Structure formats: structure tokens, C-alpha cells
Amino acid sequence: MRRSTLAVEREWDVDSVVGYVFSLSFCSPATFGEEKEAFDSDLRAYLNRLEDERFVQHTEVEVISGKKPGKPSGR
């Protein structure tokens, strides 16, 4: 078994943040009903007031991999 940790940097812009938020089950467009457009507008306004137009996410991904040992050949 082998375990590796990878540093990941992802850059988000306003559109990708808004899209991500709406992809979450608890923030799906259906959750907001008639208020979806107002929420979208408010979220974009808030994000646009921040200093940067891009948002950088720093995280780590841990990968665990392995393989089954082969069967003995019986020779």
C-alpha cells in the first residue's frame, strides 16, 4: 500500500464560485425557489466587493493506492 499527499491549488473566479454554490445539495437553485435570482445577485455583489477577482483555494489531496498480491504459481 502506498500513501501520497498532493498539494492542490485551485483558482476560482466569481462565476465558478457561484456555480459551485448552486451545485451543493443544500444550495441548489430549487432550494431558493423564487429567491434564486436575488441570491445570485447578492452573492455576486458580495464577491465583487472583495479585493481580488480571483479566489485561490489551497488544499491537500491524500491518495491511498495498492494492489492485491498475485496468486502463487504453484510450481
Query: What does each of the 75 residues of the chain score in pLDDT, given as a tens digit?
Result: 899 999 999 999 999 999 999 999 999 999 999 999 999 999 999 999 987 778 999 999 999 999 888 877 666
Quick check: is 75 in a domain? no
Q: What total number of domains does the chain contain?
A: 1
Write down the pTM of the prediction.
0.68
Range of the domain at 44: 2-65
- CA gap 28, 26 in Å, rounded: 6
Quick check: is 10 in a domain? yes
Quick check: is 74 in a domain? no
Quick check: is 57 in a domain? yes
Quick check: is 38 in a domain? yes
Could you give the maximum distance between any two Cα atoms of the chain, in Å?
73
Number of CB atoms found within 10 A of residue 20's CB = 11
